[in-house]
């Protein structure tokens, strides 16, 4: 009985340590906050590709949503934002996007993380561009 108790305690301690390390990995900033201008990419289905641990566990648990953007050279990046900011970006139905000739330019305030990536961001301003939106499934 004591062996079972020790195994349970050890398992709980290991899981707690992993949870704390994961949380710290995605929360320790490096440097000052800055603002980026990125064009919105309308990703219809997000299954956590490219960052499954953070997308499917930590940020989802903390109520964050992932938005996809593209840089000027065409590289795709993603940022985690609050549900309110996410809803501002998705103000139209996905079916209406394919017929639209407008896309969004986002001004995103964030910080770099110590171990790479970006800290949870806030959308400072949203501008409308006369350009066909980038839609990915």
- In tens, the pLDDT along 31-53 reads 899 999 999 988 777 766 677 66
Give me the mean pLDDT over the 79-94 stretch. 85
Q: Do 129 and 103 meet the contact criterion of CB atoms below 8 Å apart? A: yes
What is the Cα Rg of the chain in Å?
Answer: 19
3-state DSSP assignment of residue 88:
helix
pLDDT for res 48: 63
Domain that includes residue 81, residue range: 2-136
pLDDT surpassing 90 at residue 28: no
Give me the mean pLDDT over the 12-22 stretch. 91
Full-prediction pTM beyond 0.75?
yes
Give me the mean pLDDT over the 110-137 stretch. 87
Cα separation, 122 vs 24, whole angstroms: 20
Cα separation, 64 vs 46, whole angstroms: 13
Give me the mean pLDDT over the 68-81 stretch. 88
Phi, psi of 6 (to 5 degrees): -65, -40
Q: Name which of 55-64, 65-74, 83-92 the model is least confident about.
A: 55-64
In the structure, what pLDDT confidence band is assigned to residue 55 with cuts at 50, 70 and 90?
low
- What is the tally of structural domains in the chain? 1
């Amino acid at each position: 009985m004591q062996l079972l108790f020790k195994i349970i305690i050890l398992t709980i301690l290991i899981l707690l340590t992993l949870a704390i390390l994961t949380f710290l990995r995605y929360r320790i900033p490096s440097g000052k906050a800055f603002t980026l201008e990125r064009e919105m990419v309308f990703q219809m289905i997000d299954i956590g590709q490219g960052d499954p641990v953070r997308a499917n566990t930590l940020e989802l648990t903390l109520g964050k949503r992932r938005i996809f953007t593209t840089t000027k050279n065409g590289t795709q990046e993603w940022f985690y934002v609050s549900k309110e900011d996410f809803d501002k970006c998705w103000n139209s139905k996905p079916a209406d996007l394919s017929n639209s000739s407008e896309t969004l330019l986002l001004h995103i305030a964030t910080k770099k993380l110590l171990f790479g990536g970006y800290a949870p961001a806030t959308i400072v301003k949203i501008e409308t561009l006369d350009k066909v939106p980038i839609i990915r499934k």
